[in-house]
Chain A
Amino acid sequence: MATLTTATDLAPGSTPRRGPARRRSNRRGLMRWIAVHSIALAIGLMFVLPLVFVALTAFMSDRQALTADLWPRSWHPANFAEVFRTAPLLKYLGNSMMYSLLATAGMLLSSVPAAYALARMRWRGRQTVFLVVIAAMMIPPQVLSVPLYILWARLHLTGTLWPLILPYFLLDAFSIFLLRQFFLTVPQSYLDAARVDGCGDLRTLLRVLLPMTRPGIAAISLFCFMYTWNDYFGPLLYAGENPDEWTLSLALASFRGAHQVQWNLTMAATVVVMLPVILLFVLAQKSFVRGITFTGVKG
């Protein structure tokens, strides 16, 4: 915590700004550079070391994983093969994929027109509906779990992932909210021009708005994918009793039970579950960052 107080002492001008008024002596600038970057390095290590320890343990032998050693004495990549051998991970991966991909597709189908109506059409009750969407977004998922579970049980769909997937084809409040924010950034003159050219609402949406907000579409798709991929409560509620329908998160939570003292295998499984997410982030980092800043700055 001491690092945080020094951080505020570290002089001013947060952004790279130049100009005669701000120019300092080289020596002082260098000291500041060193201070800022060493604190940042410490912070970076704090965030990344847990992942490093997890990965290192995943490569340890069964016996060494029981010791307090931090570095593997010998490397055992076979642990990963062992994880795939002991648990039907590919099946869980398939279930996770089905949940995330279908939910994301459904979200796009339902959220794009709704966000357009809320951002770019004028109609009575628009403000009220928008407030209801926000309220829906803020309800903790556990609150509605009882009546929704009863509803899906009557439809004989509990024990599957469908109660989680199907609602996305009608409503995903968070995506509608965020996409509306993106749609609002397009200047009205573009839409007016489209109208003059004879475009109706549908054509304006598909030909003008969507191409102009492609980064926003990418961001909400990533968020939806990540949310469903990481979801634990939903799959636990509806598919917890049916291992055939388990997602990776659900299966990982149970993995430890079967491998009581084998931290190396548990950590190898953890790495396997984290890896797709990390890859996705590396591939699409820009979209992520753009999306997050949007939730906060405008939210």
Chain B
Amino acid sequence: MTAAPHTTHVAGSSFTRWIRPRPGHWIRPLAFMAPALAGLALFVVYPLLALVYYSFTRYDLLNTPVWVGLRNYVFLLWGDPLARKAAYNTVWLVVVITVLRLVFATGVAAVLVRVRNGAGLFRTLIYLPALAPPVAATLAFTFLFNPGTGPVNTVLSWFGVSGPLWFSDPAWAKPALTLLTLWASGELIIIIMAGMLDVPGELYEAASLDGAGSVRRFWHITLPAIAPVLVFGVINSIILGLQYFTQAVVAASVASGSADIAGSRRVIGYPDNSTLTFPVWLYQQGFHYYNMGYASAMSIALFVVSTVFTVFFVHRLRRASHAEEMA
């Protein structure tokens, strides 16, 4: 399952350059792009502009929006202790998930890439959890990690370890969510494996002849060679962490025992707001309390942070495509 080699000649052959440009040559691209351009205008550009406007208003969906200036932002930055708590939880998840996901996925990939027999089976096993619907996976984990009868604490007790309360302990809820995320990181593992398989074998042989041990070969050849894939993994994990929502909502509701997740008796943040992520609090403000203006200000904050990483990603992509066109 090596990734296909990509020899792309976007710049076109001499033939296409010869018949172009001709007058009105933008009409065809426009016809092909029309739905997408309309979609970008309607579902990306318009909502972003509207978002900026709403963030300066007080709006409850029923009455007309009232202009309040910067009040939503002031409240977000200085007045709302739960927003601070939510931002802390999200940053915690972003950092821990990104670091552990990368280390874990690289480690697992380094093993699986050496498997000679049954490689397909192993790949299936590690990828299956990544496909499971997040709601189902979270329910599974709240059962596995339930402190009373859960298999995890049962197995731990065989070794004389009394397991923590996991999803019911403010100190252990986020680590439990992290384990859930690692369990579902099969996609990243497969991407990294593909990157490792693309490393030319001669590099390893040359290094062996020079007397480099396996650790040094991994550190000086494998890692630099798969660096682009790892960068992708970092950005992918950061975006994943920034929008962490479903698992936090479901785990909190189920562990608190009063779960009516779709309806209005929803419990969020349980235990003790330790799973209250920024998107969860945004959702609660907007669609439970109907503070649309305040939720918009929170959205802008989330947008600004995620845009920083997007710009980084786009920059890298651009460099890659430039290099490609040179080749």
Contacts and interface: CB of A to CB of B under 8 A. Distances in A.
Contacts of B199: 14
A51 B129 contact: yes
B107 A7 contact: yes
Contacts of A237: 283, 287
Given A47-B129, A254-B262, A293-B190, A143 B51 contact: yes
B40 A281 contact: no
Contact of A249 (B107, B133, B229): B133
B208 A257 contact: no
A236 interface: yes
B102 to A, nearest CB: 12
A203 to B, nearest CB: 12
25 contacts: A9-B215, A13-B205, A14-B110, A50-B129, A53-B151, A54-B144, A117-B29, A122-B20, A129-B40, A134-B310, A138-B309, A138-B310, A140-B243, A232-B249, A237-B283, A241-B262, A248-B133, A249-B135, A252-B139, A253-B262, A260-B257, A274-B132, A274-B136, A289-B190, A293-B3
Given A47-B183, A254-B259, A266-B143, A121 B28 contact: yes
Contacts of A153: 61
Interface in B301-321: 302-303, 306-307, 309-310, 313-314, 317-318, 320
Given A11-B214, A50-B140, A147-B47, A134 B313 contact: yes
Nearest to B119: A40
Interface in A134-178: 134-136, 138-151, 153, 167, 169-171, 176
B32 A294 contact: no
A141 B249 CA distance: 15
Interface residues of B, number: 141
Contact of A146 (B51, B125, B194): B51
A242 to B, nearest CB: 9
Given A13-B205, A278-B132, 19 more contacts: A4-B104, A9-B214, A10-B214, A22-B205, A47-B125, A117-B32, A122-B20, A140-B242, A143-B51, A145-B299, A171-B44, A184-B6, A201-B32, A232-B246, A232-B249, A249-B135, A292-B190, A294-B3, A294-B4
B47 A170 contact: no
Contacts of A57: 143
Contact of B253 (A109, A176, A191, A253): A253
A36 B196 contact: no
B13 interface: yes
A102 interface: no
Contacts of B169: none
B126 A47 contact: yes
Nearest to A112: B32
A176 B310 contact: no
Contacts of A7: 107, 110-111
Given A47-B183, A51-B129, A122 B1 contact: no
Interface string B245-275: 1100110011001111111000000000000
Given A140-B279, A250-B262, A167 B201 contact: no
B313 to A, nearest CB: 7
A199 interface: no
Interface in B191-248: 191-192, 194-199, 201, 204-205, 207-209, 214-215, 217-218, 222, 228-229, 232-233, 239, 242-243, 245-246
B138 to A, nearest CB: 8
B172 to A, nearest CB: 17
A15 B197 contact: yes
B10 interface: yes
Contact of B107 (A4, A139, A141, A266): A4
A136 B40 contact: yes
A296 interface: yes
A274 B287 CA distance: 28
A145 B136 contact: no
Contacts of A260: 257
